[in-house]
């Protein structure tokens, strides 16, 4: 055994001891670590990880899309998606997150029936591999739960075969009062099995049955899945709902120590198999809890910046950046080997839990009411005390930014572009939902047909219809696409926009939101300043202390700054990126 492999095995054994402490297993830690190494084929193909290595740069932008967000008659959607991305995004966007592309029974893919197959309605593994050959591919590891229609759960009901002991059960008499829930449905699902009536733990819905990671066979099953995904070209793993992975009756059953250790163990395996692979944890929880998933640069490479969407939308509808600025000042810079995953729209809604402690109850109430005025819907959760509380706002971002708290206005497009200009400048890797690239509005028809609030922002475009829309100068879809591509093309050429480049928050009042970025070689500086109001605002350049010996230029308008001490008027929702090179 090589020294590298020997060291990895020792590390895995230590991690397994932490995870399964107090649990009687049917094999030794030595045996279990050997099984994990064999499943990942590390006996033959082990590689040296690049510790504290940034596997990303300023050129990385991730498109978020369903496999069938764009469809065409008589063509597999994954083929259509690839053609669409090639035609309209080209080299502008180099990475893509295809949301769950597996057979599923509900939740638009997140109730997985079979992790090893591609949904036949979308295409096959060859289609996935072709996309991975063009762009860096991000895929979901739906690790907390699977479909109640899966073979594993059917074996659980029968009491035999793989899956028969994969699922977490509890008793209705257990103390479950502290369990943190993201939904209002009952936690336990009654299920008749060969052993009698069982009560299966369901964090999200009764069609999404939770795994029991106390059984090491569950861990082995997911390591096998990870190996398959790596072989098919996946290089970024989105660990879905991972905060809920480990359960202990009588606790909150969220963010438990064992959950963090499992992430560390999976990272140990992945980075020795594919050193440039990236793990992103999806943990829609309060900001301080979310930050813990960096660990000591040994857990997630990146974490979803869940607080950004509600804070940024709140800023732009109120014309006041106090809360956004306060939050940005509190965010620790990500150390090398870690970064933030920034987004402001996704297939889900705008989460409100990440705004807890950052926005007051009054601010959240105003935000909710404004989104409802713009056609949005609200999803609810049950708190530990049994109270119903708003969990998420479901609305297309284009509609969410159509106006202010005073109502709709003429500045919707500019406000929408301003939101993305801010996001694209921030420390971290930007992720952009396909419907934000297209300026897609609320899909009330899909909402009506499915009765699921999240469907409002999950439109399925017909390829030919969309091509016609994007070919017209007279609608907003083409305008949005062109302006978004312009911003991205500018961003990806700037060293100061590296995800780990230095960032400081500027103090320019409450109507101008600004921050400063500096490249890691300290050669390039960019001042990112946005007017977040519907009135013109004066930017006094002298307050920025621009180095007078440098030549300064606004990258967005390609305009030279003739006098670094002058006053400049920023039009409503205008952003400038002032760079010295």
Residue-wise pLDDT tens digits, 438-465:
999 999 999 999 889 999 999 999 999 9
The position carrying tokens 């994969």 is: 166
Rounded CA gap, 376 and 370, in Å?
9
Residue spans of the chain under pLDDT 70: 1
Neighbouring CB atoms inside 10 A of 470's CB total 18
Rounded CA gap, 357 and 392, in Å?
16
Q: Is 348 annotated as a binding residue?
A: yes
Q: And the tokens for 482?
A: 């062109």
Res 383: pLDDT: 77
Q: Is 347 annotated as a binding residue?
A: yes
Q: Is 477 annotated as a binding residue?
A: no
Q: And the tokens for 58?
A: 């300023």
Question: H/E element holding 372?
Answer: helix 361-373
Q: Which of 207, 210, 240, 554 is catalytic?
A: 240
The stretches of 20-107 forming alpha helices (DSSP H) are 29-39, 42-45, 77-88
Q: Taking a C-beta distance cutoff of 8 angstroms, is the pair 249, 199 a contact?
A: no
Rounded CA gap, 188 and 210, in Å?
10
Phi/psi at 74 (nearest 5 deg)?
A: 60, 30
Neighbouring CB atoms inside 10 A of 288's CB total 12
Q: Is 124 annotated as a binding residue?
A: no
Rounded CA gap, 371 and 392, in Å?
11
Res 295: pLDDT: 95
Distant-in-sequence, close-in-space partners of 389: CB < 8 Å, separation ≥ 6? 380, 381, 382, 383
Neighbouring CB atoms inside 10 A of 186's CB total 13
Q: Is 239 annotated as a binding residue?
A: yes
Q: Is 173 annotated as catalytic?
A: no
Rounded CA gap, 68 and 98, in Å?
9
Res 1: pLDDT: 61
pTM summary value: 0.96
Q: Taking a C-beta distance cutoff of 8 angstroms, is the pair 145, 209 a contact?
A: yes
Q: Taking a C-beta distance cutoff of 8 angstroms, is the pair 234, 135 a contact?
A: no
Question: H/E element holding 218?
Answer: helix 216-231
What's the angle, vertex CA 469, arms to CA 448 and CA 476, rounded to 5?
85
Distant-in-sequence, close-in-space partners of 97: CB < 8 Å, separation ≥ 6? 62, 63, 64, 65, 138, 139, 236, 238, 431
Q: Is 353 annotated as a binding residue?
A: no
Domains of the chain, earliest start first: 502-579 (2.60.40.1180)
Rounded CA gap, 309 and 351, in Å?
8
Q: How far is CA 158 from the centre of its chain?
A: 36
User: Packing angle between helix 77-88 and helix 463-470, nearest 10 degrees?
Assistant: 10
Rounded CA gap, 145 and 159, in Å?
18
For the chain, what is the radius of gyration of the CA atoms? 24
Rounded CA gap, 135 and 496, in Å?
23
411: nearest Cα among 534, 323, 273, 261 = 534
CA atoms within 13 A on the CB side of 501: 28
What are the Cα distances from residue 493, in Å, to 57, 58, 60, 176? Answer: 10, 7, 10, 52
Res 184: pLDDT: 86
């Amino acid at each position: 055994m090589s020294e590298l492999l020997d060291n990895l095995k020792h590390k895995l054994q230590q991690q397994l001891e932490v995870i399964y402490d107090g649990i009687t297993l049917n094999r030794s830690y030595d045996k279990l670590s050997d099984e994990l190494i064999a499943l990942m084929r590390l006996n033959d193909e082990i590689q040296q990880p690049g510790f504290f290595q940034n596997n990303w740069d300023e050129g990385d932008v991730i498109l978020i899309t369903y496999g069938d967000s764009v469809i065409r008659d008589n063509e597999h959607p994954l083929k259509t998606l690839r053609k669409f991305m090639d035609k309209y995004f080209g080299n502008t966007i180099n990475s893509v997150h295809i949301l769950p592309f597996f057979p599923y029974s509900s939740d638009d893919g997140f109730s997985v029936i079979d992790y090893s197959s591609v949904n036949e309605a979308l295409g096959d593994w060859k289609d996935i591999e072709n996309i991975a050959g063009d762009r860096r591919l991000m895929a979901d590891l739906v690790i907390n739960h699977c479909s109640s229609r899966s073979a594993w759960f059917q074996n659980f009901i029968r009491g035999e075969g793989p899956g028969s002991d994969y699922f977490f059960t509890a008793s209705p008499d257990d103390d479950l009062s502290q369990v943190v829930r993201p939904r209002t449905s009952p936690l336990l699902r009654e299920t008749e099995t060969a052993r009698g009536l069982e009560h299966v733990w369901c964090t999200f819905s009764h069609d999404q049955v939770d795994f029991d990671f106390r059984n090491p066979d569950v861990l082995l099953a997911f390591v096998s899945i990870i190996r398959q995904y790596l072989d098919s070209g996946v290089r970024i793993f989105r660990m879905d709902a991972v905060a809920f992975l480990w359960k202990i009756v009588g606790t909150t059953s969220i963010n438990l120590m064992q959950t963090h250790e499992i992430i560390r163990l999976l990272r140990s395996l992945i980075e020795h198999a594919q050193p440039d692979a990236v793990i992103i944890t999806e943990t829609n929880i309060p900001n301080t809890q979310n930050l813990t998933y960096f660990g000591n640069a040994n857990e997630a490479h990146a974490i979803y910046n869940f607080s950004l969407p509600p804070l940024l939308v709140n800023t732009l509808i109120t014309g006041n950046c106090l809360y956004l600025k306060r939050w940005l000042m509190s965010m620790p810079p990500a150390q090398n080997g870690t970064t933030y995953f920034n987004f402001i729209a996704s297939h889900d809604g705008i989460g409100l839990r990440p705004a807890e402690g950052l926005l007051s109850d009054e601010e959240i109430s105003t935000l909710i009411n404004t989104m409802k005025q713009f056609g949005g819907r609200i999803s609810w959760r049950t708190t530990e005390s049994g109270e119903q509380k708003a969990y998420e706002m479901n609305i297309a971002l284009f509609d969410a930014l159509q106006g202010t708290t005073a109502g709709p206005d003429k500045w919707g497009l500019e406000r929408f572009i301003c939101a993305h200009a801010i996001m694209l400048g921030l420390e971290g890797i930007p992720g952009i939902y396909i419907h934000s690239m297209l300026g897609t509005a609320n899909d009330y028809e899909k909402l009506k047909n499915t009765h699921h609030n999240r469907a409002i922002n999950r439109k399925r475009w017909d390829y030919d219809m969309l091509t016609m829309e994007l070919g017209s100068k007279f609608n907003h879809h083409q305008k949005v696409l062109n302006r978004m591509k312009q911003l991205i093309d500018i961003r990806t050429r700037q060293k100061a926009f590296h995800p780990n480049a230095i960032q400081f928050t500027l103090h320019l009042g409450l109507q101008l939101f600004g921050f400063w970025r500096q490249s890691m070689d300290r050669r390039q500086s960019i001042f990112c300043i946005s007017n977040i109001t519907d009135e013109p605002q004066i930017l006094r350049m002298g307050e920025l202390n621009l180095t007078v010996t440098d030549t300064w230029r606004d990258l967005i308008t390609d305009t030279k700054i003739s006098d670094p001490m002058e006053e400049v008027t920023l039009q409503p929702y205008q952003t400038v990126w002032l760079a010295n090179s």
